[in-house]
A and B are shown apart, each in its own frame.
Chain A
């Protein structure tokens, strides 16, 4: 992803040399093949060794009668002792909100361990594929521990020779907003603040594209007489201004052209929001909430996984769907066929046909942002 490093980082072992190919020898890029599983196992073993050494260094010969055993009056092995040490440190640091039952059972211990590792993990953009997989595994396990339910989270990378693009047929859109509700359901957006990535602008016939007088918050029967409709969302610019301004590289452009955010790395300064000329970014002003039975459990780390308060989010062209070869939820939900999505590098794709045969245009082209989102009319 990052060929030349523009930033200065101290090598703390966070940025291990990543393997050159994104998929492993067996040709399965999903990460479920055996060789990768073995790799992770080996890593865990070395983590065990690390614990042992750390405990040895910390308590050494006294470990049979260490302070913890005296206090808690229970037998435990060294690894548990170290874990409890970590857990108690956690309580001290106040890093977990529910710290009351931390030493009660192994589940909460594991939860604390996960929270600890999650708090201090690195930037997803700079992770190796193994690190990506282990953070995704942690998050899935964490969800299971918290709710007792399983989710499926992917860390699938961009595929080669794919560049996603989008076209919007203004003649067809009738303003039904099925795309909006499909998007909200697919992407687990906060229901309380009614966050929506897509805005449908209702414009007056005969006034052209006059956004100033358009209504992007209408509530009446559509299509309304004398109006036409136009949708906007993140345009996944090829030269995205939001990416440059981020002080911590929490947002970047993936190989397949998707502009994504690492929700866990975002510090919430909202500079990207100010830099976006297309109103494409949203901020979690309070803790986002989705009723448990409405959660879309088919998730991607960069896409629709659950967010927390105080971080940015945005349209990802439904990365959890598009990287599996499916259309984004908005495209699938549109009853009029106004939305077209596809691979710009595939000469046989519908999007390429539209670009070659229709008079397409983009919004605010003078800004040099090169959106990968085109509008056209029949």
Chain B
């Protein structure tokens, strides 16, 4: 079969590409491997002794892992903001960016799944969750919805770029009829993954901090700010290290998306703060804990008061086209936004949900070294996967990788 032969050659060629590169590339990959190995070592300790090696307790039962998971679902969903203009609205500026965006989505999803597995108490019985073999509590449990949407999104984001690259690899144009329906589907799917992940928390009447109708929409707004912000930063790196041409126009257009999403996000933040603090109820205690501390317990204050000013400053600067169009300023703002939203949608969202506890007990949470090690390892895994995907994609797009029929 011809297709299989071409595919085999593609795999061999891409293996060849990702193992060759500049010294900087090798140092980068070596560094990521080292961090991954440290992460694996930390995880082996966790497997051996149980989750007691983390900072989580019966009082705060989700921590750094689930925080990162939540944030990364948003990053994955953000690829859609590039897919839509390119494939659906046919805006050509994004053509180059979209492959990078989808690669980022794949890496983010792999990190999401890794974080969920790292958080599990019994990874050896995870097969209980596989539909058909185990018992899949669908549709009652939002977690099963999340399993479906995340894996479905991963599938879409692997197949579309694979198809396009596969065609380009053979020197042919990708057929619109084949990939556009998938691209349209992925637009809705991306909204789905983040909304479903928000519903995971939003549906718990036990946690008033999460049980809030704005949670889902705010997830989307923050995701569409943080994700494309990361894409801009990645494009900037790719632009300076490879021959891949990304016009300023493309980056400026993505910047526009980031700006609008960040503005909407800020409006929603104001709305949330107003509700919690204008007429505070018993249910506002988590917000009080997050922003001001409760009964002298204030572990999250430095985090949230780093995030909020970063968020506000970045959004204000981005709002003015004069600043936004200066690339250096843009990169700086994107960095600020990315970090701010990572704090806000991670730590700032998950941990206060548990504090105070159901009976008002305030037990604080701090991640342990092992937890941080595993987390860094998973981030390194994501970066590693992305680098491999991006290097192959760029090679094909630049025409360096081409199928040579013998």
A interface residues (Cβ-Cβ under 8 A, vs B) = 6-10, 12, 119, 122-123, 125-126, 193, 195, 199, 201, 211-214, 216, 232, 241, 244-250, 264-271, 273-279, 282-287, 308-312, 367-369
Contact = CB atoms under 8 A, between A and B. Distances in A.
Interface stretch (B4-12, B36-44, B120-128, B392-400): B120-128
A40 B44 CA distance: 41
8 contacts: A267-B121, A270-B61, A274-B353, A276-B206, A277-B205, A283-B58, A311-B122, A367-B205
Contacts of B296: none
Given A241-B205, A274-B353, A310-B51, A7 B136 contact: yes
A269 B122 CA distance: 8
B182 interface: no
- Grouping DSSP codes into helix (H, G, I), strand (E, B) and loop, the B interface class, with mixed when no group exceeds half, is loop
Taking each of A12, A199, A246, A270, which has the highest tally of chain B beta carbons within 10 Å of its own beta carbon? A270
Given A8-B138, A248-B136, A309-B50, A279 B357 contact: yes
Contact of A9 (B135, B139, B200, B207): B135
A265 B50 contact: no
- Grouping DSSP codes into helix (H, G, I), strand (E, B) and loop, the A interface class, with mixed when no group exceeds half, is loop
Contacts of A211: 359-360
B94 to A, nearest CB: 36
Contact of B137 (A199, A212, A249, A309): A249
Contact of B135 (A193, A212, A249, A275): A249
A247 B122 contact: no
Contacts of A195: 58
Given A241-B205, A249-B137, A284 B358 contact: no
A123 B61 contact: no
Contacts of A368: 205
Contacts of B138: 6-8
A355 B125 CA distance: 43
A268 B204 contact: no
A143 to B, nearest CB: 20
B147 interface: yes
Given A7-B136, A244-B140, A247-B143, 17 more contacts: A6-B139, A8-B131, A8-B136, A9-B131, A9-B135, A241-B205, A241-B206, A245-B140, A247-B137, A248-B134, A250-B128, A266-B121, A268-B120, A269-B120, A270-B61, A283-B58, A285-B57
A123 B127 CA distance: 12
Interface in B103-151: 116, 119-122, 124-126, 128-129, 131-144, 147
Contacts of B357: 279
B361 interface: yes
A277 B52 contact: no
B126 A267 contact: yes
A8 B139 CA distance: 10
Interface of B: 49-52, 54, 56-58, 61-62, 116, 119-122, 124-126, 128-129, 131-144, 147, 200-201, 203-207, 285, 353-354, 356-361
A6 B137 CA distance: 7
Taking each of B49, B58, B133, B354, which has the highest tally of chain A beta carbons within 10 Å of its own beta carbon? B58
Contacts of B132: 8-10
A213 B361 CA distance: 9
A270 B62 contact: yes
Nearest to A210: B360
Contacts of B200: 271
B206 A367 contact: yes
Contacts of B147: 247
A286 B49 CA distance: 6
Taking each of B139, B141, B207, which has the highest tally of chain A beta carbons within 10 Å of its own beta carbon? B141
Contact of A123 (B62, B135, B356): B135
Nearest to A230: B359
A89 B137 CA distance: 31
B128 A268 contact: no
Contacts of A245: 140-143, 203-204
Contacts of B360: 211-214
A133 B54 CA distance: 37
A268 B122 CA distance: 6
B122 A267 contact: yes
A244 B141 contact: yes
Taking each of B57, B203, B359, which has the highest tally of chain A beta carbons within 10 Å of its own beta carbon? B359
A309 B207 CA distance: 26
B361 A283 contact: no
A201 B359 CA distance: 9
Given A10-B132, A247-B136, A269-B143, A212 B356 contact: yes
- Sorted from nearest, which 4 A-B pairs have the closest CB atoms? A268-B121, A310-B121, A277-B206, A212-B360
Contact of B61 (A201, A212, A267, A274): A274
Taking each of A9, A216, A267, which has the highest tally of chain B beta carbons within 10 Å of its own beta carbon? A267
Nearest to A264: B125
Contacts of A266: 121-122, 125
Contact of A283 (B121, B128, B129, B354): B121
B131 to A, nearest CB: 6
A308 B125 CA distance: 12
A285 B51 contact: yes
A250 B200 CA distance: 18
Contacts of B135: 7, 9, 122-123, 125-126, 248-249, 265
Nearest to A270: B61
Contact of B58 (A275, A277, A282): A282
Nearest to A279: B358
A274 B206 contact: yes
A246 B358 contact: no
